[in-house]
């Protein structure tokens, strides 16, 4: 695996991080000043094609990249904040109900994060979801 691909994979595999391509670029640039954004995009595409990472798209937000480990997401409907949530795997239940054997799903639950809820009500927010 090319060195930049390995660095990107290591970043994306951090729990509770959902980097954009630009975020990955800025992180890598700290240690690798010669890296260019095109290199990041090319490696992200390759890693996605190899199914080593996945792209998470949220309407109105830049694509983010995530680890493959089975989990779902909470998405703030106001700021687009993406948080991991571990729920029971629904694959078997969906297969039984639909009769479709080869299926996958990507569950995103829309909510209002504590920061946006506090801003909406004019309160301060200590915790994050």
Specify the pLDDT at position 125.
Answer: 52
Residue 116, marked binder: yes
Residue 76, marked binder: yes
Residue 113, marked binder: yes
Query: What pLDDT, in 10s, does the model give residues 52-101?
Result: 999 988 888 899 999 888 888 899 999 988 888 888 888 888 899 999 98
CATH, range 1-68: 1.10.10.10
Q: What is the pTM of this model?
A: 0.70
Q: Edge-to-edge strands of the sheet including 53-56?
A: 19-20, 64-67, 53-56
- Residue 129 CB coordination number (10 Å): 14
How do the domains of the chain map onto residue ranges?
Answer: 1-68, 69-121
Encoding tokens for residue 109? 């639950």
CATH, range 69-121: 3.30.1490.190
Residue 48, marked binder: no
Rounded distance between C-alpha atoms, residue 92 and residue 98, angstroms:
10
Encoding tokens for residue 80? 């687009």
């Amino acid at each position: 695996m090319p060195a930049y691909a390995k660095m990107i994979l290591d970043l994306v595999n951090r729990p509770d991080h959902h980097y954009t391509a630009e975020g990955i670029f800025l992180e890598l640039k700290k240690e690798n000043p010669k890296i260019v954004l095109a290199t990041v995009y090319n490696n992200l595409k390759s890693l996605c094609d190899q199914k080593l990472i996945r792209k998470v798209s949220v309407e109105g937000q830049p694509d983010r990249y995530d680890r493959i480990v089975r989990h779902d997401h909470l998405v703030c409907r106001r700021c687009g904040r993406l948080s991991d949530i571990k729920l029971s795997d629904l694959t078997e239940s969906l297969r039984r109900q639909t009769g479709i054997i080869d299926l996958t799903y990507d569950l995103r639950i829309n909510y209002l994060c504590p920061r946006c809820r506090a801003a909406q009500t004019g309160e301060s927010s200590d915790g994050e979801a």
